[in-house]
Structure 1
Amino acid sequence: MTDAEIDYAGVFQALPGMVALLTPDLVYADANQEFLRMSGRTRGQVVGRYLFDVFPDNPNDDAANGMRNLQASLLRVLATGERDAMALQRYDVESVERPGEWEERYWSPVNAPVLGPDGRVALLVHRVEEVTELIKARGTPGSTRARVLEAELYTRARELQEVNERLRDAHAREREVALALQEAMLPAPVDTTRHHAAVRYRPAVGSLNVCGDWYDLVDLPGGRIGVAVGDVVGHGLRAAGVMGQLRSALSAASRVAEGPAKALEVLGLYARFVDGAESATAVETAVDWATRTIAYSSAGHPPPALLHTDGTVEFLDQATDPPLGARPEHVSRPEAATAFGEGDTLVLYTDGLVERRHEDIDTGLGRLAASLVRHREADLETLADALLLDLLPPGGATDDTALVLVRL
């Protein structure tokens, strides 16, 4: 039987355990029949509604913490992309037949991520097992059934804990190696021949989320400099390895190609032979002080920003093309140029700085422009730190962030 012949929706509904699907905003996307039966709810009372509107804490119990614990677990999964098994939870449920009355219930929850094509958490699998019978049976003296159930639960909990510990150790090792590889392949902050550049790199939070962002600064013939950033789809060691190959290829191509567009064309042809380079994005710029212009070309990447000394921000978005490998045939890439003045600041970055889930990219670009204007009088190093402080979430982003600033 092929995947096309399997009714996965029917399989989901027939699962013998309680399983629900949640969006990253913790709204029920679906719930199987067993979940609805055991929780005493209908589909209409669950699907499309916020989790904690459907199942709030018992307002009559000042010590109730089931909602807080569950929310913390789900947010950990969203931040790290890792499965999270919770300790046994008391989480009372309001009676459907007798509104206002709360039934004492105990649950064993496990939350797991479903990753989308971009490597980010697209859905949360929320599986719960009710163990109320076990907990209440423990209070019955000499209960054989209670002892059997308790032994089974303890064994399953220990097995799950061991699996989670092995996964965390493996993910931690992968993150450590990937970060070391990424750091070794990215160039150190440099002074170009004539002008200073500030660079920053911030890895994503969570052991699975080391990504393939890169930056590069090179001296070009004629006293020009090339500045580039790029982003490989995916996470971990594989993405870091692909990043290194693409960065090196673009760095070499930019030194000999006739402008940024030609350099990206060479990179696109090379990327066809690199497994994992599909849909990678990059932007290449060439700063020419003789003509006081910046030539640029983008392969599906967020546009560079040019902060002028008069406090205006110009986004370099007039030469944008699809990501690497998006077209089956080779097509020439566009190139544009813009003028700059002395003291202007060129800003290149990866999407972790501006993109947020469920938010239009223009909103993030607006935040970037506002932050640049707000800190335009700062020196370059201070400006770089201020941008990260203003734009990255307090707990860290779920995507890598590379940032390059050049004072012109």
Structure 2
Amino acid sequence: MREPQPIDYAAVFQALPGMVALLTPELVYVDVNDDFEQLAGRPRDQLLGRYIFDVFPENPNDPAAAGMRETRESMLRVVATGERDTMAVLRYDIEDSLRPGQWQVHFWSPVNAPVLGPDGKVSLVVHRVEEVTELLRDLGTRTDSDRSAVLEAELYTRARELQGVNERLRKAHAHEREVALALQAAMMPTPRHRGPHQAALRYQPAIGGLNVCGDWYDLVDLPGDRMAVAVGDVVGHGLAAACAMGQLHSALSAATRLADGPAQALEALDMYAGSVDGAEAATVATTFVDWHEHTITYSCAGHPPPAVLHSDGTVSFLDQATDPPIDARPDHVTRPQARAPFTEGDTLVLYTDGLIERRTEDIDTSLGRLADCLARHRQTAPEALADALLADLLPSTGNTDDTALVVVSL
């Protein structure tokens, strides 16, 4: 079998069909391919190192021109969100480099995409443009020349309307995300100390708008030297998930104060969830920590098991009381609970699946990676340990599911 030859990616880039450019997050050209030079009518030495809109300004002769503004907004969205942005067909006139003051009409279909660096932030913007000017004109001339301008204008108008709809949807989605995050932040408890016992709390939203605002955590002081610690995950995303999350969070927090144990608290949540839209198949893990007895009583409803990092560096998972998710059964069934001992100096870790799960691996592999990470940081205090878990376990390109995390010193 022949050894694969190294690929000259610079040559591949230059040979790409269509106009392709690479820009910094400040929108300065760092490279362009051959088609970009040819179709844009600018040689490389007039492009590299220059701000894109200094090279291609808006046509001052057209008061309605918006190609530059919309392209800039699209690129800045890519830089801000780390997500690809596909634009509708737009008109973008270019000044003739040989005849200053003469502007050529162009219709372009642009796509702007991020290139992420090792830190997960956007390091480059790929600007790819399909030149569709001749296509639009050809569609018009296939019937008769008199209709060419009319059809061209009609196609352009429909494209502009689509761009406007996309922009309104984008703004509505951004507002919904902002409201959902604010609601979630208002529901979450603040970090606390219980004597010598410290609790570190983290919530990491997903990148963009995917699966955001369904995760939550809670800490409840109980009579005696006890505290309840829980995490949960609501199916769905956006404002609807945040609303369902808020109701389940409050209901479990109340039930925990009256229940004899975590299983009974989850059974009460089962009965309440039937009246909450969006609560179906929510997952929860809840623990009752008793420092006097040095025990953790726990129950999990379809949720990944809590972990205990022992002072000797070993890790055990609380997986002896697992059951289906909330409101998954038509009839009431008693939920299981189990008890595990701990020693002073151990650490309890509860988390949602966004921290560990990957689509390409099974849950045992995911839990093994979590255990390895905990063992590496076994001498770390809760606040620093929470930061280390997020840094080590979440993808460098950004998590596609939100993540809740609670770390409690025992």
* TM-score of the aligned structures, taking structure 2 as reference length: 0.68
Residues in 2 aligned to 1:188 and 1:369: alpha-carbon distance in whole angstroms: 26
**Unmatched segments (≥5 aa) in structure 1:** 1-55, 89-105, 112-128
Q: Contact 1:200–1:403 at 8 Å: present in 2 too?
A: yes
Superposed, 1:275-286 pairs within 5 Å as 275-286=277-288
Report the equivalent of 2:384.
Answer: 382
Larger Rg, first or second structure (1 or 2): 2
Q: Any idea what the Cα deviations from partners look like across 1:26-68, whole Å, max 9, x if unmatched?
A: xxxxxxxxxxxxxxxxxxxxxxxxxxxxxx98847696569x9
The equivalent residue for 1:403 is 405
Aligned equivalents of 2:322, 2:292: Cα separation in 1: 25
Q: What count of residue pairs does the alignment treat as equivalent?
A: 311
- Residues in 2 aligned to 1:83 and 1:58: alpha-carbon distance in whole angstroms: 22
Residue 370 to residue 107, structure 1, CA distance change in 2 (3 Å): farther
Change (3 A) 1:246 1:160: same
The aligned residue for residue 29 of structure 1 is none
Please list, as runs of the form range in 1=range in 2, the aligned pairs for 1:257-406 lying within 5 A after superposition: 257-406=259-408
- Aligned-pair distance for 1:149? 4.2
**Aligned-partner residue type, residue 350 of structure 1:** T
- Superposed CA RMSD in Å reads 3.5
The one-letter code matched in structure 2 to 1:172 is: A
Q: How does 1:61-210 map to 2 (within 5 A)?
A: 64=20, 84-85=86-87, 131=132, 134=135, 137=138, 146-207=148-209, 209-210=211-212
Are the counterparts in 1 of residues 200 and 408 from structure 2 also a CA contact under 8 Å? yes
| 8 Å Cα contact 1:211/1:233 also seen in 2 | no
Q: Helix, strand or coil for the counterpart of 1:377?
A: coil
Aligned partners of 2:89 and 2:156 also within 8 Å? no
In 1, Cα distance between equivalents of 2:186 and 2:214: 13
Deviation at 1:276, TM superposition (A): 1.3
Decide whether aligned partners of structure 1 residues 157 and 63 sit closer, same or farther in structure 2, where only a CA change above 3 A counts: closer
Q: Residue 16 of structure 1 aligns with which residue? A: none
CA displacement at 1:248 relative to structure 2: 1.2
Output the amino acid matched with 1:273.
Answer: S
Q: 2:405 corresponds to which letter in structure 1? A: L
The residue identity in structure 2 corresponding to 1:396 is G
Aligned pair in 2 of structure 1 residues 380, 252: CA closer, same or farther (>3 Å)? same
1:207 deviates by 3.4
Match for 1:250: what amino acid?
Answer: L
| Aligned-pair CA distance for 1:287 | 0.9
1:204, CA displacement in angstroms? 1.4
1:89-120 deviation digits (Å, cap 9, x = unpaired): xxxxxxxxxxxxxxxxx995999xxxxxxxxx
Q: What is aligned with 2:125?
A: none
Q: 1:358 to 1:342 in 2, by over 3 A?
A: same
CA–CA separation in structure 1 for the residues paired with 2:153 and 2:170: 26
> How far apart are 1:136 and its partner, in Å?
7.3
Give 3-state SS (helix, strand or coil) of 1:342's partner.
coil
| Deviation per residue, 1:268-293 (Å, 9 max, x gap) | 11111112111111011011122211
Distance 1:224 1:286 in 2: 7
- Distance in 1, matches of 2:84 and 2:304, equals 28
Aligned identity (percent) is: 66
How many Å apart are 1:385 and its aligned residue?
0.5
Structure 1 pair 239–61 and aligned structure 2 pair: CA distance change class (3 A) = closer
In structure 1, distance between residues paired with 2:366 and 2:324: 20
Residue in structure 1 matched with residue 228 of structure 2 by the alignment: 226
Question: Could you tell me how far apart the structure 2 residues matched to 1:232 and 1:82 are?
Answer: 27
| 1:322-374 per-position Cα deviation (integer Å, ceiling 9, x unaligned) | 00111111100011111111111100001111112233222222221111111
Offset of residue 380 of structure 1? 1.4
User: Counterpart of 1:303 in 2: which secondary structure?
Assistant: coil
Residues 229 and 283 in structure 1, CA contact (< 8 A), matched pair in contact too? yes
The answer as to whether partners of 1:178 and 1:236 remain within 8 angstroms in 2 is yes
For 1:254 and 1:193, how far apart are their aligned partners in 2? 21
Q: Aligned with 1:222: secondary structure?
A: coil
Q: Deviations over 1:72-97 (max 9, x none)?
A: 99xx8xx9999844557xxxxxxxxx
1:406: how far off?
0.4
Q: TM-score, normalization: structure 1?
A: 0.68
Amino acid at match of 1:363: T
State the alpha-carbon separation in 2 of the partners of residues 80 and 144 from structure 1.
45
Q: Matches of 1:199 and 1:369 in 2, distance apart?
A: 19
1: CA distance, partners of 2:298 / 2:308: 12
Take 1:359 and 1:298, find their aligned partners in 2: how far apart are those partners? 22
Tell me if the contact between 1:211 and 1:399 (Cα under 8 Å) persists in the aligned partners.
no
What CA deviation, in whole Å up to 9, does each residue of 1:224-262 have, x standing for no partner?
111000011111112111111111111111122111111
Matched-pair contact (CA < 8 Å) for 1:211–1:235:
yes
Contact 1:213 1:231 in 2 (8 A): yes
Q: Is the 8 A contact 1:80 1:208 kept in 2?
A: no
Q: Is the 8 A contact 1:306 1:346 kept in 2?
A: yes
Instruction: Give, in angstroms, the shift of residue 146 of structure 1.
Output: 4.9
Amino acid paired to 1:368? L
Tell me the CA shift for residue 309 of structure 1: 1.1
